Amino acid sequence: MKINERAPYENGANPKQEQLGKFTTDNNGEFLTTDQGLKINDDQNSLKINDRGPTLLEDFILREKITHFDHERIPERVVHARGSGAHGVFELYKAMGKYTKAKFLNDTSIKTPVFVRFSTVAGFRGSTDLPRDIRGFAVKFYTQEGNYDLVGNNTPVFFIQDATKFPDLIHAVKPEPHNEIPQAASAHDTFWDFISLMPEAMHNIMWLMSDRAIPRSLRMMEGFGIHTFRFINDEGKSHFVKFHWKPLQGVMSLTWDESQRISGKDPDFHRRDLWEAIEEGHYPEWELGVQIVPEEDEHKYDFDLLDATKIIPEEMVPVEIIGKMTLNRNPDNFFAETEQVAFHPGHLVPGIDFTNDPLLQGRLFSYTDTQITRLGGPNFHEIPINKSVPEVTNHQRDGMHRMQINKGKAAYNPNSIGGGCPFQAMISEGGFASYEERIDGAKIRQRSKSFFDHFSQPALFYQSMSDHEKRHIQNAFSFELGKVKIVPIRQRMVNTLLEVNEELANIVADKLGLKAQRLPQPMTDSIPADGSLAHHHSFKNKLPLDSAPSLSMATKTADNIRARRIALLTADGVEDEAFTKVKKQLHDLDAMVMVIAPHHGFVKTASGDEYPVDETFLTGASVVFDAVYIPGGDSLKILSKDAEAVHFVAEAFKHCKPVGGTQESKDFIKMALKGIKLPAAGVSVTGDLQDFVNDLLQHRFWERELMPQVPA
């Protein structure tokens, strides 16, 4: 696939792309005009009296230009402000009519257009891509029946159970109000004060402290709908459903040290990675999976299906793969598409409906409210990226930024003047009808006791981790709580960790100079001001699983190296065959190979051939690559005298990445690793490229963390 080549849409043109095309402009070859279409003769000078005189108020061209500029910025999202987006298609593998009447989940002959926005949660729009944070994963399906938005995250659970606590959560995690520090970080007093008093947050905290919170790439993370939704079939029968996105490029992470270094080297790392992969034809792919539970089985589990802080372990209800999403086109304009796209969990199609999840119910209000504020009024659905493919026909009128021009007198229903149009649709004609559920009870402000098990699933998560993942969680808690200045908050969190895992609590406590203490359960319904009742209304069930392998990332690497970023370290005099062969073979495996050299321009091989240099050691860094390979030749003499080249290799090794080269490069690698004995895990210097590829398939060699650390 050539750069900028658009992927074909089978069975005719992509209907959403055709629609967007009507609004897309290309100014190449055109004259400069005002917003009213007037051709501009001079855009370099404002209208003045003489060449040094005052500017005239009558310069309407200047006023229009400056006024537009002054109003270009819109309010950023309160959360998920920092984002990246891409277009694509969803293909259904098999019809799901047994469970849902949604048309896009029943016709395998069509491709449904989608737009996906990935995002961090806590940081402002200008923050780094690389904080320890939850990532948003929102998908807009442009279906035949209207837009369907699957709004989720890269974790399957949330911090809170009831939407009324959402403002408190965000106020706590945002920069502290007295000095607006720290940016895009949870490692501060207010966040952990809140968390230490909210034991229901412990499950999502375990995910946040795991490697899931620092993904290697947006292309290499799972997505989850979080909530339990309903599927409704043609007979009106309901099934509970949870949605999963499974990346075909594997589930991979960065190390915490890498993420901090990348934030300095390239804070747009995730955004750039997604953009470049699509531009080069390495289209990211995810399979859509569902966990389906019959409605009659709602109460058979030791957890509540309506509790957004709980998962259904895949070992208990397997994920059924039903389709694939491919992102194959970057936006033409970031603001018009990625920034203005408006998602909402209430954008449904017939066959998909809500449950009584109290977090989901509150979100249904919040999303509409915030879109009205951000996008200037209730007509945000008319912005091209948000328009549904079916034409909108209703009696909503007027308001800011109205674009649709409605004819006729009748803007009400029922009417006779307009012949009764537009008509209500019967269910058999595709009309949406909410699921009929009998509800009878008193109005109360309390939660079901089935929501009070706050610790069994966090414990299951930790128990399911590999050894290196456990180490990373221990280190993450120690780092985050080490940034907390108020010692009693640290102590509360350490005490709470005892309810999850004693080993974890004691290791973190030791690093913080504390002793974990299990507090007695409270006997009162009032929480004292000192917050000592952190386990108020909490208990811990015994789950039928001791561990759930599906929760670990250790077995989720891909069986290919598509779009892996490989640094090819070179200098003048590099051996021709080793250089050209490895470059071609890795490229043939769809890896993204970049030539790194001491200088820009071209690098000369031993025979005098020249190849363009992609990055130098000044502008490139090992932290933005997945692996490094060093061909042989006289280039090794130059590299061995270049401290940046030596550091490049040592840093890659420190971060447990594959390091490869020819037999001739062995001495240079040994020098760079300063005393590490070869052979070592993930270091291949046989000259056999397949050995290097096998290391790439493993992605990381975490056992190196237990070795003496090289200075890098």
Q: Which residues are catalytic?
A: 80, 153
Residue type, 204: N
Report in angstroms the alpha-carbon separations of 654 from 37, 651, 672, 683. Answer: 59, 5, 11, 12
SS3 letters for 657-705? CCEEECHHHHHHHHHHCCCCCCCCCCEECCCCHHHHHHHHHHCCCHHHH
Measured distance CA(328)–CA(348) in Å, rounded: 24
Please give the full DSSP string across 215-232, using - where no structure is assigned: BS-GGG--EE--S-EEEE
Q: What share of the chain is helix, strand, coil (3-state, %, to 5)?
A: 30, 15, 50
SS3 letters for 520-556? CCCCCCCCCCCCCCCCCCCECCCCCCCCCHHHCCCCC
Exposure string for 449-469, b = 16+ CB within 10 A, e = fewer: eebbbbbbbbbbbbbbbeebb
Measured distance CA(40)–CA(393) in Å, rounded: 39
Helix axes 502-511 and 467-482, enclosed angle (nearest 10): 40
Task: Name beta bridge partners: 603.
Answer: 611
Task: Find out whether 133 and 379 touch, Cβ atoms under 8 Å.
Answer: no
Measured distance CA(141)–CA(21) in Å, rounded: 18
Pairing state between β 111-120 and 135-143 = antiparallel
Measured distance CA(427)–CA(444) in Å, rounded: 34
Measured distance CA(14)–CA(314) in Å, rounded: 35
**Pair of tokens at residue 199:** 């034991």
